[in-house]
């Protein structure tokens, strides 16, 4: 997954248990369990990356790009079904480094559950980490 990112404002970096419980109740699917079955082989939780951007990095980019959880989840679902570099929320360097993820063939309700779970993994510390990484990359070029 590229992009990889429980309320519409940034949280404290911890999953919102109430939102996660509501997601499971509403969809019947546990986003974390779906992540563990289908995503974690490529997406680690935090840096360093494995074969794709880490979950917290994805969540960070989605929080930067979208104000609402619902809009971010809808975008993630569409992206996972049909990855397109023009719709990617991550940095172009991530696509150069990892390539595009393969299209996911999971049912939409499972894609929504895992996308909501990704959103909930937001870690405010990623903002500073991302800033430092961008500065380092600019110095190398």
Q: For 84-128, write each residue's pLDDT tens digit.
A: 999 999 989 899 999 999 999 999 999 999 999 999 999 998 888
Q: Is the pLDDT of residue 5 over 70?
A: no
Tell me the percentage of the chain whose pLDDT exceeds 90: 62
- So what's the pLDDT on residue 23? 58
The CATH homologous superfamily to which domain 17-140 belongs is: Cytochrome c-like domain (1.10.760.10)
Task: Please tell me the distance from the alpha carbon of residue 46 to that of residue 103, in angstroms, as a whole number.
Answer: 23
Buried b (16+ CB within 10 A) or exposed e, 7-32: eeeebeeebbeebbeebbeebebbbb
Mean pLDDT (whole number) for 9-25: 47
Task: Please tell me the distance from the alpha carbon of residue 77 to that of residue 97, in angstroms, as a whole number.
Answer: 22
Between 141 and 110, where is the model more confident?
A: 110
Predicted model pTM: 0.76
């Amino acid at each position: 997954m590229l992009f990889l990112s429980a309320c519409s404002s940034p949280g404290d970096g911890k999953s919102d248990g109430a939102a996660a419980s509501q997601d499971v109740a509403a969809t019947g699917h546990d986003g974390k369990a779906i992540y563990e079955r289908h995503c974690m082989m490529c997406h680690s939780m935090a840096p360093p990356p494995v074969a794709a951007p880490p979950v917290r990095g994805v969540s960070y980019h989605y929080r930067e790009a979208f104000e609402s959880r619902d809009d971010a989840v809808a975008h993630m679902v569409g992206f996972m079904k049909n990855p397109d570099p023009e719709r990617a929320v991550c940095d172009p360097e991530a696509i150069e480094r990892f390539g595009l993820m393969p299209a996911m063939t999971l049912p939409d309700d499972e894609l929504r559950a895992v996308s909501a779970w990704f959103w909930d993994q937001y870690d405010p510390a990623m903002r500073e980490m991302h800033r430092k990484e961008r500065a380092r990359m600019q110095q190398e070029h």
